[in-house]
Amino acid sequence: MNRRSPAAALTAVSGVALAAAVLAAAWGLAVGGMADLVPRDPAALVRWGLPLAEVAARLAATVTIGGLALATAVLAPTAAALAVRAATVAAAVWATAQAACLPLTALAVVGSTTAEDGTPAIGVLLGTALGPSLLWAAALAAAVAVVLLLVPGPRRAPVGLAVSLLALVPVAAAGHAGHGPGHGAASALWLHLGAVTIWAGGLLMLVALAYGPWSAASDGVASLAPVRRFSRIAGWCYAVVAASGVVPVLERSFSPTSLLTTGWGALLLTKATLFAGLGAAGWAHRRRLLARAAPSGVQPLGRLALGEVVVLAAAVGLGVALGTSAPPPPSPDAGTLPPLTVSTALTRWSPEPVLALAATAGLVTYLRWVVRLARRGDRWPTGRTVAWTAAMVLLLWVTSGGPSAYGHVLVSAHMVQHMVLVTVLPVLAALAAPVTLALRALPPTTDRPSGPRELLLDVLGSKAARVLLHPVVATANVVVSMAVFYATPLFELSLTNGVVHLWAVLHFGLAGYAFTTILIGTDPVPHRPPYPLRLLMLAPAMVFHTGLGLVLVTSSRLVLAPSVLAAARPAWLTDPVTDQQAAGALVWALGEVPPLGLALLIAARWAASDERDQRRAARRGTALAASPSTPSSRSPARSTAGPRRTGGSSAPS
């Protein structure tokens, strides 16, 4: 592709991408069929207009998120401004198309503008589980456009990117995969959509900036540095899409034959084949084109990138068709929990994709940083690496293993998850010093935009970090948030709502890490209190956990979300009060033992610090005593050295 006709070239690429997405969606609907959502057959306009509106909304979201991701992490300021401008226009299209999906879906559900009892179709839709998700999706898509129009300066791209990814949460919940069993299906689809949109939209924006009519104002976009940055992002996106696409299929427990005998299975296999082809193209892009471009100085963005745009657009269209098609029914025993034993607690899995990805990526990244230090001759303590490995394995188990599988039916399993997140994991993470390792391993970035090291330093020096990492705020965050969580309907919502559950896990884990790293960590924090205050900071959390444990142990009735737990109670749980009392004992024990260990560690460090201060003072005193130029020895010498000059000079006699 050349620049002699950039507008025509960009129009051709966009047209081919849109045609590929629409044709893929139409073919998918013909093969998979629409889900049986409606009691009456809607008009042809609604039957085909709804998928087209969803395709338009998905493609506009892709351009929005991809452009903002490039502006945040890949492009120089001039090109980033162009990407944000294009993302703003795409966000407006996204909000319009997403809003159109709401009445079209209502007409598809009801079959006409009103139900038989006269209720408007929108009212009927909002009374279902699907309606609020679509309403939130339209509202958040509009919020993205508002943010991009109102937020000033360099914060516009990262803030808009965060809101855009948040706007995909109700989109994921509205899909069929979002209504699978457990909390994992919706978050898996959210990860899937987020990674695909960053990858596809970023690639489309790179091509548009390099070959579009504004290419003269964005020179360097197709050069080696930004393409290499985007290639690293695309590699992570590929891994996320691959992992997140497997979770919904595993959670539904399909029989293997259903993938070969149903239209939904044919769509899934077709999308998997396309994805494998994308992986091969991406590998060729990184290993061949970038390697050839480095010594020659040739711009590596070209035909391969354009081919990826077209195939990714087709994958987006197939994704819309896959979400609209009815999947095969799951196995009859899918989602049935066996009685809790030590074996099932260790072997039963209920993946939470976001947290599983965080644990896996955290372990891989930490080990890569350790290897990077070793290659340049620096040493990183083995104990810290062991602590971080144990923390990530434990995080994976408590959020995707037995505690996650049984946590929505057993109070004791939930309390194991909660207490490990708040009291055990933060200790291991603080001892591992991940922030210190990152600052040592991440190379500084000399060009724009800022690299990971600069972004980390900006976060550590921000006002929010100074407030959240203040000892008083960190202590209050742990104690008050736990009290609010269990004294309000938030705990009940966390058992039934995947978003609230994920938020609670992330909040308690990060709050516990901030609190613990102030006490015993070596990572940089704005405020490091003295040792007596650190011991005092342990008291509120210990008192709260003791009180909560006593309430659960001594109560003869269910006090935590009794109606929700009763509805989900398995047949083998015949005494839920005993399970609640066991949960209270766990809270009591895990709320006392780890803090006592922290107190002993703080006391030992306090004693060691005092001993170092005493040795330092002794060495200073010895050095002063051995020095010949002490105040007592200078006076006699000065008195016999001759007349002292006071202002002018004295002539020799």
Q: Which domains does the chain have, with CATH numbers?
A: 21-324 (1.20.1630), 348-615 (no CATH)
The per-residue pLDDT for 644 is 41
Q: Which residues lie across from 114 on neighbouring strands? A: 120
Question: For position 3, what pLDDT does the model report?
Answer: 43
Contacts of 638 (CB under 8 A, 6+ apart): 644
Indicate whether 409 pLDDT > 80: yes
**pLDDT by residue (tens digit) across 548-558?**
999 999 988 88
Question: What count of residues does the chain have?
Answer: 653
Residue 94: what pLDDT? 94
Identify the weakest region by mean pLDDT among 33-37, 333-337, 592-596: 33-37
Query: Which is higher by pLDDT, 217 or 517?
Result: 517
DSSP 346-401: HH-----HHHHHHHHHHHHHHHHHHHHHHHTT----HHHHHHHHHHHHHHHHHHHS
Strongest mean pLDDT among 77-81, 255-259, 310-314: 77-81
Q: What is the mean pLDDT of the chain?
A: 79
Mean pLDDT, residues 50-74: 89
Question: What is the model's pLDDT at position 53?
Answer: 87
What is the band of 192 on the pLDDT scale with cuts at 50, 70, 90? Answer: confident
pLDDT digits (tens, 9 = 90+) for 610-652: 888 888 888 888 888 877 654 544 444 444 444 443 344 333 3
Residue 50 clears pLDDT 60, i.e. is over it: yes
Binned at pLDDT 50, 70 and 90, residue 591 comes out as confident
What's the whole-number mean pLDDT along residues 577-604?
90
The whole-number pLDDT of residue 154 equals 77
- Is the pLDDT assigned to residue 439 strictly greater than 90? yes
* Top-confidence range, 99-113, 207-221, 524-538: 524-538
What is the C-alpha to C-alpha distance for residues 369 and 379, in angstroms, rounded to an integer?
A: 11
CA of 111: how far to CAs of 176, 195, 440, 451, 644, in Å? 20, 35, 62, 52, 109
Interval 280-294: pLDDT, tens = 766 766 666 656 655
Using only C-alpha atoms, what is the Rg of the chain?
30
pLDDT at 341: 86
302: nearest Cα among 281, 319, 276, 318: 281
Please tell me the least confidently modeled range out of 141-145, 322-326, 436-440, 467-471: 322-326
pLDDT-derived band of residue 216, with 50, 70 and 90 as boundaries? low
pLDDT at residue 642, rounded to an integer: 43
pLDDT-derived band at 64 (thresholds 50, 70, 90) equals very high
pLDDT of amino acid 394: 95
Q: Above 60 in pLDDT, residue 493?
A: yes
pLDDT bin (cut points 50, 70, 90) of residue 500 is confident
Look at residues 522, 644, 21, 557 and name the one whose alpha carbon lies nearest to residue 319.
21
pLDDT of residue 102 exceeding 70, the answer is: yes
User: According to the model, what pLDDT value does residue 314 have?
Assistant: 65
Check pLDDT > 50 for residue 260. yes
Q: Is the pLDDT of residue 250 over 60?
A: yes
pLDDT at position 105, please? 83
Residue 289: predicted pLDDT: 61
In the prediction, which pLDDT does 643 show? 42
How many angstroms separate the CA atoms of 455 and 510, rounded?
A: 18
**403 Cβ contact partners less than 8 Å away, ≥ 6 residues apart:** 345, 397, 413, 414, 416, 417, 420
pLDDT exceeds cutoff 50 at 575: yes
- Percentage of the chain exceeding pLDDT 70: 73
Q: What is the pLDDT of residue 317?
A: 66
135 three-state secondary structure: helix
Q: Please give the average per-residue pLDDT across 524-538, as a whole number.
A: 90
Residue written as tokens 């456009």? 145
pLDDT-derived band at 324 (thresholds 50, 70, 90) equals low
pLDDT in tens, 348-399: 888 888 899 899 999 999 999 999 999 998 889 999 999 999 999 999 999 9
Per-residue pLDDT at 437: 95
Instruction: Please tell me the predicted confidence (pLDDT) of residue 445.
Output: 76
pLDDT at 36 over 50: no
End-to-end CA distance of the chain: 96
pLDDT tier at 514, thresholds 50, 70, 90: very high
Least confident residue range of 440-444, 451-455, 502-506, 634-638:
634-638
